[in-house]
Every structure is written in structure tokens, then in C-alpha cells.
Structure 1
């Protein structure tokens, strides 16, 4: 029984670590402007995994505009979204 107990504990720890990481990511997204934040949240911080074209169609923007905003969100010097915690 010890092996199954260890597996349950590891799974619970992993879930807690994921929750903490997502909380940090949401906090980091607050540094972005409204469109950048909306894009990042819809694309990366939801339970479902939408494709890029789903997100830019839902946001009502062109593909070109979507990728420009996405690049700006990730490469903005004031953004720490991609920096390790």
C-alpha cells in the first residue's frame, strides 16, 4: 500500500505546484495592456487549449494583428511572463 500512497502524495504536490505556477502567470499578465493580457489568458491560461486562429477569430482581429500583439506581449521588456520564477 505504501507505493499507492506515495503516488497520491506526489499527484497532490504536483497539482499544488501547478496551481501556484498558474497564479504567478496570472499575476504577471497584469503587467500587459488589455489586448495583450486578453490574448495570453485566452490562449495559454485556460483549461482548454485553443488554436491561435480560434483566439484571433474570437477576439475579432486579423491574423497579422494577432501575431503582432502576441509577439509584443512576449518580447515586451516590462513583461516578465517568460522569465523563470
Structure 2
């Protein structure tokens, strides 16, 4: 996939990949499969739910093929406050 080529070209195994607008979690799943550490964030509940499901699927694939994978946490960092500066 395109993201797999991008992650391989721009990082090494064990490096950190960050995606601050995670959407469906493709970048985090690719990073996990390629042995990268990752941080993924999003404000949308649907995006977080979709990403969680995708990462669980990626972990199952890795486990079935005997490859290592890391546990992950889903954290709610609370509401943030938008402030307009006039």
C-alpha cells in the first residue's frame, strides 16, 4: 500500500510514527505491522472506534503469523476548550 511505502521510506523499525488526524487508523495499523512505535489521536468518537477495531485486527494478523505486537491504550484526555482570540 502507499502508506506502507511511505512509512518504510521515512522511518526505521522501532522509530515513532505520529498521526494526529487518525481517521480510520490506517497509518497506525501499518506502523504496527512494520514494527514502528506509534501515536494516533483524533477528536471524533467514530474515528477512535474505527481505529481501535483496525488495530485489534492488525494485532490478530500479527499473532496468527507469529510476529510480535504491542498492546495499546485508548485514552480520553478530556474535553478541550476552544478559545477565540479577538
TM above 0.5, yes or no, is no
Q: Which has the higher contact order (CA 8 A, sep 6+)?
A: 1
TM-score in terms of structure 1 length: 0.31
Q: Identify, as 1 or 2, the structure richer in helix.
A: 1
Q: Identify, as 1 or 2, the structure richer in strand.
A: 2
Give 1 or 2 for the bigger CA radius of gyration: 1
TM-score in terms of structure 2 length: 0.31
